[in-house]
Amino acid sequence: MDCVLIDCVRYIATMARKRRIGWYSISLDTLRGWGMFLILAALVGAAFFAYRYWESRALERRATELIAEGQELVERLQGDGQIVQFAADFASGRDLVRQAEGAYASGDVRGAVEVGKQGRNILAAILSYVERKGAGGEAHFLSVQGDVEFRPRDSSDWETARRGMNLESGDHVRTSGSGSAQIMFSDGTFYTVNPNSAIVVTRRSESSGTGQAVKIAYGLLNLFTQDNPTRIETPEAAAEVSPKTEAFVAYEEKSKRSRFGAVRGEMKVSTPEGLERRLGDLEQVTQEGGLLSEARSLPSPPTLVTPADNREIDASRSDEVGLAWDPVPGATGYELQVGRNRLFVDNVVEDAGRRKNSARLGIRGEGTFLWRVAAERGDEGRGPWSATRIFRITSFRKSGEGDTTPPELTIDDVDRYGSIFIVEGRTEAGASVEVNGEAVQVNANGTFTKTIQLVGEGWSFIEVKARDAWGNEANRRRRVFIESQ
């Protein structure tokens, strides 16, 4: 019995000792768990603050990168004559870049990133569009009006010319009596191929330093050089045109007679026989056979007086438009052109030999018109054209008496650059246009180009509206896919 009691006491003591040992074991594990939790919490906190610091620095880097890219794009685009059609969009992109600069300076880095990205995207889209339209050749068609064709150097077939098409050395261009084209060459020289003209694009001669070269088969060619000289050849003579020069070259195929003129700047004319003439501002020379005339002065371009540029004329109050310009000393007459496009093709008025420095035109309909005048001086020919002015014919007759037909409206092209879209289209002259509610500058011939940015991702619509003077409206929609950048 005593042994049993002793064994029971020993058993109870052993169990109590085991419980105490187990309790202490649980407490140590708990402490270790809390320690690990605190260490992990500290590590997570440190990582969070490190991430926030890294994110802040990354945002700063991103903001400075976007601002720098935007500034570079502004510098590249602002001297490019091809962005005239994007003047408003370029200004918008440039202003967004400036806003980003201001936001960054004030400490709003996230705002600088958002605004800088918008500005950069708009400017990059414009540059990409311009480079895509004009890259890859000696030159490209900047504008085409009426019947214009080109023939590649390795083909015998003539093709219809379109704006943006590239031209290589050896390609031929010709215009009909109702066609004209503006061509931008890779060195910045700008040419206007007038109606009833033909030229051949030739590669620049690096060894002679003559810059871009063109051969004129017949007709009239106007040109502006930028920082490089250019060479114009006729079958009977040639001209070396200096940088920063406005000039013209005309060649009559039947008489084999050439006329070279410098409106401003300098050019040197030479014949295969070795004759040379140097021309300065408002000077010209003619070539006939192997002979070159002495340099003679050109009549000055007239200064237009009335109507004022962009004048709106109410057709309900008058059935005539009066045009007037200052007389040019020594002029024996004037040539007047009134048209609906800047290339003055298919003109409403084509009047040469006018004695007076004024004209009155009967109004035959509404629309936007352009006009210009050149002075004539006997056998010396026509001088340079005046600056071009625009006037608009509108009518404010009572409702119910006017036109009820919506204006013509066509979306020619939509180019996508991520979330930026460049819309090209055309409507009737004088109509106003909106793209997704934003007003668009419409050219005198009804063409327009607009850059817009769409929000979100996936499929969306671009809506174009045109409204004429009577309030008639035309709508066109184009489904597009938006990609984020």
Residues 321 and 375 in one domain: yes
For residue 387, give its domain range.
304-394
Token readout for 188 is 């910045």
Residues 57 and 125 in one domain: yes
Supply the angle between the helices 109-134 and 87-105 in degrees, to the nearest 10.
150
Domain closes at, from 248, 270, 297: 297
Token readout for 125 is 């889209």
Do residues 387 and 301 make contact, with C-beta atoms less than 8 angstroms apart?
A: yes
Residues 352 and 459 in one domain: no
For residue 325, the one-letter residue type is W
Q: What does the radius of gyration of the chain's CA atoms come to, in whole angstroms?
A: 36
Residues 146 and 193 in one domain: yes
Residue 403 placed within a domain: no
Where residue 421 sits, what CATH number does that domain have? 2.60.40.10
DSSP state at residue 380:
G
Q: Which helix (H) or strand (E) holds 59?
A: helix 2-78
Residue 402 placed within a domain: no
3 state SS of 88: helix
Residues 250 and 214 in one domain: yes
Residues 315 and 383 in one domain: yes
Residues 91 and 50 in one domain: yes
Q: How far is CA 128 from the centre of its chain?
A: 10
* Segments in the chain below pLDDT 70: 1-32, 46, 48-55, 79-85, 128-137, 203-212, 395-403, 444-445, 483-485
Residues 264 and 155 in one domain: yes
Residues 159 and 290 in one domain: yes
How many domains does one find in the chain? 4
Domain closes at, from 108, 134, 160: 134
> In this predicted structure, what is the pLDDT of residue 328?
94
Nearest to 441 by CA among 32, 90, 87, 34: 87
Residues 247 and 158 in one domain: yes
> In this predicted structure, what is the pLDDT of residue 208?
47
> In this predicted structure, what is the pLDDT of residue 298?
93
